Amino acid sequence: MSFLRMCFVFGLVTAVLGVAVAEEAGGMVWRDGSELRIDGKGWSDTPTPYSRLPERAEEKVRKPVWDRSLKSAGLVIHFNTDARKISFKWTLTSGSLAMHHMPATGVSGLDLYVKNADGKWLYVRNARPTGKSSTGSVNIWDAEKGNMREYKLYLPLYNGIESLQIGVPEGAKFEQPDVSDAKPIVYYGTSITQGACASRPGMAFAAMIERELGVPLINLGFSGNGRMEPEVAELLAELDPQVYVVDCLWNLTRAEDETIQERARNLIWKIRSKHAETPILFVGQSNFRGLRTGKTEALLEELEKAGDNRVENVHFLPGRDLLGDDGDGTVDGVHPNDLGMRRHADVLIPAIRELIAEEPEPKDAGEAKSD
């Protein structure tokens, strides 16, 4: 017998392994999500705890933008617990659980990550939606079981949350970490930003950026409707992030070049009227084996003019490597699958890292505040 690789090491069982099990009849203490802090939100005055734009925006933005803001893409419940089992009950706003090219786990599921000893976030397990209302449990098996651990629960990408409860066994500690003092990244985009077509919410590239840079991220991806509109630009300017990212070209492929240029100019002005220095990163259209619609060039022309007019700190990232060059990064020629999401993150993370002031030091779970 020959060994193809001699590096086979018999590892210790140190895994955090989540296994979906039938929920126990009792003995769980439930917390309502609406009473917990939800990260990834730009505004607190939203119509529901699980939506993304302030109530007053309903009158301002087009209805399709508003409708998409009610999907919970990018929202994250962040908690610490020593529980050896974590349970979920959630009711969605729509019983339409999946899309043809995106599974129910991505459209409507919950996705749990844990921080390991090195401060890295690792996937634990997801909870599968089985109907408009679902329940799920995750057993935490770990060498350090019984220790306080820090968790993030990513909410559905293409559905809304009507109600959500998180349960841990009686006697288990459950705490909310301090609010991060790092200013967020604001990422404005299309369906691709919203998370189509990740297999689960933690695989959206925006979630990867947030986890890997350790900086809060506000996902303002609006499927089919990320169009650099003045009304949205005004809302963006209300926020105070470390970086704005504007990644809208796929939703402007039918727009005139002049429209794109006018909207980019307006967006830069709106932001600069409130934030003289904040970096603004425009992203070129992702593409697939050389397809170009010319919209990236139209945008680029406008950004060059901004430079000529001494508008500082406006940046451009080409989109051509976002999907790779083999076509395997998409599920349908446009929307990334999980491989394409990873490729997006690999291009975007270093680009954004150059523009953020400082990555925060990882905090110990021990520093967390009790809820």
Q: Which of residues 297-316 bind a copy of itself (CB under 8 A)?
A: 297, 303-304, 306-307, 311, 313-316
Contacts of 162 (CB under 8 A, 6+ apart): 48, 50, 91, 92, 93
* Position 129 contacts a copy of itself (CB under 8 A): yes
Cis before residue 7, ω within 30 degrees of 0?
no
Stretch in the footprint of a copy of itself (CB under 8 A) among 69-77, 103-111, 165-173, 270-278: 103-111
* Position 133 contacts a copy of itself (CB under 8 A): no
* Residue 52 or 211 with smaller CB distance to a copy of itself: 211
One of 340, 344, 356, 368 touching a copy of itself (CB under 8 A):
340
Give me the helix-helix angle, 205-213 and 338-353, nearest 10°. 40
* Position 351 contacts a copy of itself (CB under 8 A): yes
Vertex 219, ends 157 and 168: CA angle to 5°? 60
One of 178, 289, 364, 369 touching a copy of itself (CB under 8 A):
289
One of 354, 359, 364, 367 touching a copy of itself (CB under 8 A):
354
Q: Which of residues 148-177 bind a copy of itself (CB under 8 A)?
A: none
Contacts of 314 (CB under 8 A, 6+ apart): 268, 279, 280, 282, 303, 306, 307
* Position 254 contacts a copy of itself (CB under 8 A): no
Vertex 95, ends 190 and 137: CA angle to 5°? 95
Furthest CA-CA distance within the chain: 72
* Position 102 contacts a copy of itself (CB under 8 A): yes
Q: Which of residues 193-252 bind a copy of itself (CB under 8 A)?
A: 197, 199-200, 202-203, 208
Vertex 137, ends 366 and 209: CA angle to 5°? 55
Stretch in the footprint of a copy of itself (CB under 8 A) among 13-21, 75-83, 177-185, 246-254: 13-21
Structure tokens at 339: 């491989």
The amino acid at 78? H
* Position 43 contacts a copy of itself (CB under 8 A): no
Structure tokens at 145: 């079981």
Q: Which of residues 61-80 bind a copy of itself (CB under 8 A)?
A: none
* Position 13 contacts a copy of itself (CB under 8 A): yes
Stretch in the footprint of a copy of itself (CB under 8 A) among 82-90, 126-134, 153-161, 233-241: 126-134
* Position 284 contacts a copy of itself (CB under 8 A): yes
Least distance to a copy of itself from the beta carbon of 312, Å?
8
Least distance to a copy of itself from the beta carbon of 246, Å?
13
Nearest to 367 by CA among 160, 176, 114: 176
In the three-class reduction of DSSP (H, G, I as helix; E, B as strand; rest coil), residue 201 is classed as helix
Structure tokens at 91: 């009711």
* Residue 128 or 183 with smaller CB distance to a copy of itself: 128
Stretch in the footprint of a copy of itself (CB under 8 A) among 24-32, 50-58, 215-223, 279-287: 279-287
Task: Give the HSE-up count for residue 317: Cα atoms under 13 Å, Cβ half-sphere.
Answer: 26
Length of the chain: 371
Total residues in contact with a copy of itself, by rule CB under 8 A: 79
Structure tokens at 250: 């796929």
Q: Are 283 and 304 in contact, with CB atoms under 8 Å apart?
A: no
- Residue 68 CA to residue 223 CA, distance in Å, equals 7
* Position 119 contacts a copy of itself (CB under 8 A): no
* Residue 45 or 277 with smaller CB distance to a copy of itself: 277
* Residue 270 or 320 with smaller CB distance to a copy of itself: 320
- Residue 319 CA to residue 333 CA, distance in Å, equals 15
Least distance to a copy of itself from the beta carbon of 347, Å?
9
